[in-house]
Amino acid sequence: MRKQIAAANWKMNLSYQEGEKLLDDILEAGIQLAPHQYTLFAVPFPYLIMSKSEVANEANFYVAAQNCHHKKSGAYTGEVSAEMLQSIGITYCVLGHSERREYNGETNAMLAEKVNSCLANGITPVFCCGEPLDIREAGTQNTFVAEQLRESLFHLSAEVIQTLIIAYEPIWAIGTGKTASTAQAQEMHHYLRAVIAEKYGTAVADEIPILYGGSVKAANAPELFASPDVDGGLVGGASLSAPEFIAIIRALK
Ligand code: 13P
């Protein structure tokens, strides 16, 4: 079965101590993940090492960075490279979150470089895509999101692209409490899989987990995750509450 993933994105929230307590509270639930189920915690850079040691003994629990720079090294004050992440044993990195695209001017071309940089350092990208509200209202969301994939990922070989994780996060559903309907999520995930299949074949497209993000919570996770092409979620607000995130992990197929 394709990997099913509950990924927490803490964004710029929680103190170190609050983060540590949150991880303790979640792990205390003693969740046993099936071999195809994974949980990721995308935490702020200063918490990576602590979080990694917290989950060290938990099967299929991993830590992710929320971003990395596209260059290998050099005079980029304040930035963190994929090589640095690799040197502390980080194996996942969220790339292209809409907040970074919007506030930090990340382009599809720049993200292609970040993807390469992560892969060169043994880091699996969790590649985010998704359309803003005006695009959804104009009904052109499919072309918009397919373009994001094509421009940032389609230079990869079939062997490589099938190791990635994709997260579809419609911008109008992020932090708004307005979740895409299960039908809207399933429709986009199915479409993206078809776009990937068109270039790489069905076997490759069927391998890639596509997570849904945007106001996922304990109450809507079971229905969203039950859709055949929705392989879990990338969760912001609700991942900051232990009971909420525990229930979201338990909703994985
Ligand atoms: P919310 O779950 O807070 O809507 O955030 C979604 C998100 O951006 C996860 O990356």
Q: What band does 101 get if pLDDT is binned at 50, 70 and 90?
A: very high
Ligand 1 centroid from CA 214, angstroms: 5
Q: 21 alpha carbon to ligand 1 midpoint, in Å?
A: 21
Ligand 1 center to 75 CA (angstroms):
32
Q: Which of 54, 69, 70, 97 is catalytic?
A: 97
Q: What share of the chain in percent tops pLDDT 90?
A: 96
CB 133: neighbour CB atoms within 10 A? 14
pLDDT band at residue 106 under the 50/70/90 scheme = very high
Cβ–Cβ < 8 Å for 179, 222:
no
Mean pLDDT confidence for 76-81: 98
Task: Let me know if 187 is a catalytic residue.
Answer: no
Distance, in Å, from the CA atom of 237 to the CA atom of 217, rounded to the nearest integer, reads 8
**Catalytic residue (choose from 70, 169, 189, 244):** 169
Best residue among 5, 10, 11 to mutate for probing ligand 1's pocket (most ligand atoms within 8 Å of CB) is 11
pLDDT of the residue at 116:
98
pLDDT at position 1:
86
Residue 78 C-alpha to ligand 1 middle, in angstroms?
A: 24
Report whether 116 contacts 154 (CB < 8 A): no
Q: How far apart are CA 233 and CA 4, in angstroms?
A: 9
Cα 236 to ligand 1 centre (Å): 4
Report d(CA 213, CA 235) in Å as an integer: 6
Count of structural domains within the chain: 1
Q: CA nearest 242: which of 45, 52, 8, 3?
A: 8
What are the pLDDT digits (tens) for 8-47?
999 999 999 999 999 999 999 999 999 999 999 999 999 9
From atom 2 of ligand 1, which residue's Cα is the shortest distance away? Answer: 236
pLDDT of residue 174: 85
The ligand 1 atom at the shortest distance from the C-alpha of residue 11 is 10
Q: Domain containing 62: what range?
A: 4-250
Q: Can you read off the two tokens belonging to residue 188?
A: 């986009």
- The mean per-residue pLDDT over the stretch 193-200 comes to 98
Ligand 1 surroundings by CB, under 6 angstroms: 9, 97, 169, 174-175, 213-216, 234-238
Band (209; pLDDT cuts 50, 70, 90): very high
Is 169 catalytic? The answer is yes
Rounded to an integer, the average pLDDT of 107-127 is 98
Place of tokens 């995930």: 189
Cα 32 to Cα 39, 58, 61, 67, 210, distances in angstroms: 11, 9, 10, 28, 22
- Identify the pLDDT of residue 195: 98
Task: Give one DSSP letter per residue of 99-167, joined into a string.
Answer: HHHHHS---HHHHHHHHHHHHHTT-EEEEEE---HHHHHHT-HHHHHHHHHHHHHTTS-HHHHTT-EEE
Confidence band of 176 (pLDDT split at 50, 70, 90)? confident
Quote the DSSP letter at residue 214: S
Atom of ligand 1 nearest to the CA of 175: 4
Amino acid at residue number 156:
L
| CA nearest ligand 1 atom 5, residue | 236
Specify the ligand 1 atom closest to the Cα of 128: 10
Per the CB < 8 A criterion, the answer to whether 1 and 36 are in contact is: yes
Across 5-35, b (16+ Cβ under 10 Å) vs e yields bbbbbbbeebeeeebbebbeebbeeebebee
Taking the CA of residue 42 as reference, the ligand 1 atom at the shortest distance is 10
Q: What is the pTM of this model?
A: 0.97
Residue 123 in this model has a pLDDT that exceeds 80: yes
Task: Tell whether the model's pLDDT for residue 177 goes beyond 80.
Answer: no
Q: Is the pLDDT of residue 175 over 90?
A: no
The CATH number of whichever domain residue 129 belongs to comes to 3.20.20.70
